[in-house]
Structure 1
Amino acid sequence: MRLYAEQLQDNLKAGLKPCYLVFGDEPLQKQECLDAIRQAAAAQGYTERHSYTLDDNPEWQQIEASCHAMSLFTSRQIIELELGEKLPRDWAEKCQSLANALHPDLLLILFGPRLSAAQTKAKWFDNLSRQGVYIPINFPDSRFFPRWMQQRAQLNGLKLQPDAVQFMCHAFEGNLLGAAQELEKLALLNLSQPLGLLQLQENVTRQNHFTPFQFIDTLLDGKVNRAQRMLLQLRGEGVEAGMLAWALARELEQLLMLRLACDHGQALGPLLEKARVWSSRQALYQQALQRLTTERLHQLIAVTVQLDRAIRRFETEEAWLLLQSLSLGFRHDAALKLVSA
C-alpha cells in the first residue's frame, strides 16, 4: 500500500500494518511520520524499540536475534532499520528473511533517503510494501505549497492573509522544517490576526532552500524565471556548477531520446516506463516534450558541451552564465545565448 504523508494519521487509526517504509529527502515530514508510527505503536503495546543503521557492515546477527527473541516473549517490539544511499550487498536475501519473520508482536520500520525507480521495482520492496505501507516523502509541489502553509499555520493557531501565505511560500520554499519552526515562533509573538504581509516582513527571516533536483524539475515544468532564482541561490549555497551541468546533460539526453522516439510514432507512455521515469515526474516530461522540439534539444545539448568545456577550464563565471542560458532555453520561445569560446 502506498500513502502520502498527510494520509498516515487516518490510516494508523484503522490499525497498524506489519511494516512501514518511509523514504524521502524532506526531513520534517519524514520525522513526523516516524514519530506518528512510534506513538501509534506505543499505544498498542510495542514497548521496546531496537534501531540499527545499515552501513557497509550491518549487524545482521543481532538483528536476526532480535527477531527470534520477539517470538519468545509477550512484549511487543519495534525493529527500525535506517538505510543509506547504497544498500548492503546481501540486502535482498536478508530483507526476505526479515519479511518472513514478521508476526503480530513485531513491527518493522524501514526509512532512509529517496528510493530510486529501480529500487521501488525490486523484489524486496514489492514484498514489504504488499505487507505494509510505503510512504514516499517529497517536498510539496509548488502548486500545493500554499495549502500546506495554510494548514500548518492553522495547526499553530494562526490565520494568514493571502499575501502572507504567498510571502511564506517564497520565504521557505524547499525548507518545510524552517517554515514549521517560524510558524511556531510567530504563534508565540501574539500578533494581531489574521497576519498580513507587513507583519511577516517585520518578523520573519527568509530561509528558502532548493535542491538541484527541484531546479531540474522546475525547468521541465517550463518555469524558467523561478528556475533562475533557484540557480542564483544554489550558487550562493556553494553548489558546484559541474554537478548541475552533469544533471542537466543527463536530463537533456533522456529528453532527446524520447523526442526522437515520439517523432517516429512511438507512444510516450511506454517510453517513459521503459526509461524508468518516476510516475511523479512523467507529467513534467510530457510538458517538456510538448514545448521542446528536436532542434531545440540539440541546441541545448550543444550548450552543455560548451558548459563542460568551461568547467574543465575552471572558467567559473562562464560556466554560470551558460547555466543561466540553458535555464532560459527550456522555454520554447527563448533565444539561446552562447558565451564566446
Structure 2
Amino acid sequence: MRLRPDQLVEALDRGLAPLYVLSGDEPLQLGEAADAIRMAARDRGYGLRELFHVEPGFSWSTFLEAGDSVPLFGDRRILDLRLNAKPDKEGAAALLRYLDRPPADAILIVILPRLSRDELNTAWARAADRVGVIVQVWPLQGRELVAWLDRRMNRLGLLADQSGLRLLAARVEGNLLAAAQEIEKLHILYGAGRIEDEQILAAVCDCARYDVFDLTTAMLEGHTLRTLRILYGLEGEGVAPPVVLWAITRELRSLAVVQKDTTRGLPMDGVLARLRIFDKRKEAFARAAKRLDRDGVLDAIRLCCRVDRVAKGLEPGNPWLGLADVCLRIATSH
C-alpha cells in the first residue's frame, strides 16, 4: 500500500503494518514519518529497537538473523534499517527473504533515498508494497508547501492569512527544516492565536535598517528616490528577492481592488477597512488609488509575475532590476 506523508498518522491509528518503507530526499518529512511509526509502535508494546546502518561491507546476514531471532523475554521489536542508496543485489535478496515471512513480533522501518519508478517495480519493492506500506516523500512547492505551513502553524495554535503563508513560503524556499524553525520562532514570540503578515515579516526577515513595508509605502506615495534607496538597501542587506516581491505584489493587488471598488461607487473608507488597510497604509493607498491609472497597476502586477519567474530561475535576468522596474513604474506614474 502506498501513502502520502499526510495520510500516515490516520493509517497508524487504524493499525500497524509489518513493514514501512520511507523513501525520499526531504529530511524533515522522513524523520517525522519515522518518529510517528516508532511512537505508534511503542504505544502498542514494541519496546525494543534495533538499528542497522547499511554501509560498504554491511552484513545482510546479520540483519536476517535479527529478524529470525526471538527475544529472550518475548518483547516486540522495531527493526530500523537505514540505507544511503537503493539496495544492491544482496540487499534486495535479503529484503525479499525477510518479506516472504516477516516475523510476527517485529515491525521493520526501511529509510532510503527517493526510489524511481523503475526501482519501485523491482521484486523487493513490489513485495514491500504488498506486505506493508510505502511512503514516498517529495519536496513541497507552491500550494502544497503553503498547505503544509498552514497545518504546521495550526498544530501550534497559530492562524495566518494566505498572504502571510505565501510570505513564509517565499522565505524558506522549500526548506522544511527552516520552515519548522521559523514557525517555532513565531510561536515563541507571539504565542497561540492569529499572526498578522507584519508579525511574520518581522520574525523571518533579518533586515535591521530597511523594511519592505517602508518600500511599498514610499512606492505608493510616489517618492522615487526614497523607494530606490530602500530597495537597494534591502538588496545590500541580503533580503531574498521573493520576500520583497511578495510585499510589492500584495500591495499592488490590493490597490487594484481598491480602484475597482471605488470606481463602482463604494466608499473608500469601507473598501480599505474590508481589506484591513489601516493607519499609514490607508493614507498611502487612498492617494495612490487616485494618482495611478488602473491599467498601469495591472501592468505592474503582470510584470511582478515575470520577476517571479526570474527569481525562480525560470527566465534569465536579475530579479533586483525587475523589482526596480516595478517600483519605478508605480512611484513615477501620475
Fold match by TM threshold 0.5: yes
SS in 2 for 1:111: strand
Report how far residue 20 of structure 1 moved: 0.2
SS in 1 for 2:47: strand
The residue aligned with 1:33 is 33
Matched, 1:230 2:222: no
The CA deviation string for residues 140-197 of structure 1, in whole angstroms up to 9 with x for no partner, is 2412222221111111111112321111111112111111111111111126952222
1:102 to 1:148, Cα distance in 2 relative to 1, 3 A:
same
Report how far residue 86 of structure 1 moved: 4.3
Matched, 1:324 2:312: no
Matched, 1:171 2:163: no
1:78–1:108 Cα contact (<8 Å) kept: yes
What pairs up with 1:24-173 in 2 under 5 angstroms?
A: 24-70=24-70, 74-173=74-173
2:158–2:192 Cα contact (<8 Å) kept: no
Q: Which amino acid letter does the alignment assign opposite residue 76 of structure 1? A: R
Q: Which amino acid letter does the alignment assign opposite residue 177 of structure 1? A: L
Question: How far apart are the structure 2 equivalents of 1:87 and 1:124?
Answer: 9
Question: How far apart are the structure 1 equivalents of 2:38 and 2:191?
Answer: 35
1:193 to 1:106, Cα distance in 2 relative to 1, 3 A:
closer
Question: How far apart are the structure 1 equivalents of 2:124 and 2:15?
Answer: 23
1:20 to 1:167, Cα distance in 2 relative to 1, 3 A:
same
Question: Structure 2 stretches of 5 or more lacking a match?
Answer: 207-238, 241-304, 318-334
Question: How far apart are the structure 1 equivalents of 2:191 and 2:45?
Answer: 42
2:67–2:103 Cα contact (<8 Å) kept: no
Bigger drift between 66-75 and 170-179 goes to: 66-75
The CA deviation string for residues 29-58 of structure 1, in whole angstroms up to 9 with x for no partner, is 111100000001111111111111112222
What pairs up with 1:205-224 in 2 under 5 angstroms?
A: 205=205
Question: How far apart are the structure 1 equivalents of 2:201 and 2:141?
Answer: 24
Question: How far apart are the structure 1 equivalents of 2:136 and 2:104?
Answer: 24
TM-score, normalising length from structure 1? Answer: 0.60
1:70–1:76 Cα contact (<8 Å) kept: no
The CA deviation string for residues 212-234 of structure 1, in whole angstroms up to 9 with x for no partner, is xxxxxxxxxxx9754532339xx
2:46–2:76 Cα contact (<8 Å) kept: yes
The CA deviation string for residues 88-112 of structure 1, in whole angstroms up to 9 with x for no partner, is 3312211111112412201111111
The residue aligned with 2:4 is 4
Question: How far apart are the structure 1 equivalents of 2:149 and 2:179?
Answer: 8
The CA deviation string for residues 314-341 of structure 1, in whole angstroms up to 9 with x for no partner, is xxxxxxxxx838xxxxxxxxxxxxxxxx
What pairs up with 1:217-296 in 2 under 5 angstroms?
A: 226-231=308-313
Q: Which amino acid letter does the alignment assign opposite residue 110 of structure 1? A: V
The residue aligned with 1:277 is none
Question: How far apart are the structure 1 equivalents of 2:105 and 2:129?
Answer: 18
Question: How far apart are the structure 2 equivalents of 1:231 and 1:169?
Answer: 17
2:157–2:192 Cα contact (<8 Å) kept: no
> Percent same amino acid among aligned pairs?
30
1:19–1:133 Cα contact (<8 Å) kept: yes
What pairs up with 1:191-202 in 2 under 5 angstroms?
A: 193-202=193-202
The residue aligned with 1:190 is 190
2:141–2:174 Cα contact (<8 Å) kept: no
Report how far residue 116 of structure 1 moved: 1.4
1:192 to 1:9, Cα distance in 2 relative to 1, 3 A:
closer
The CA deviation string for residues 108-140 of structure 1, in whole angstroms up to 9 with x for no partner, is 111111111211111110001110001001122
Question: How far apart are the structure 1 equivalents of 2:148 and 2:310?
Answer: 24
1:163–1:196 Cα contact (<8 Å) kept: no
2:53–2:82 Cα contact (<8 Å) kept: yes
2:157–2:193 Cα contact (<8 Å) kept: no
Q: CA RMSD in A?
A: 2.5
Q: Which amino acid letter does the alignment assign opposite residue 203 of structure 1? A: A
The number of residues matched between the two structures is: 221
Question: How far apart are the structure 2 equivalents of 1:63 and 1:21?
Answer: 16
SS in 2 for 1:159: strand
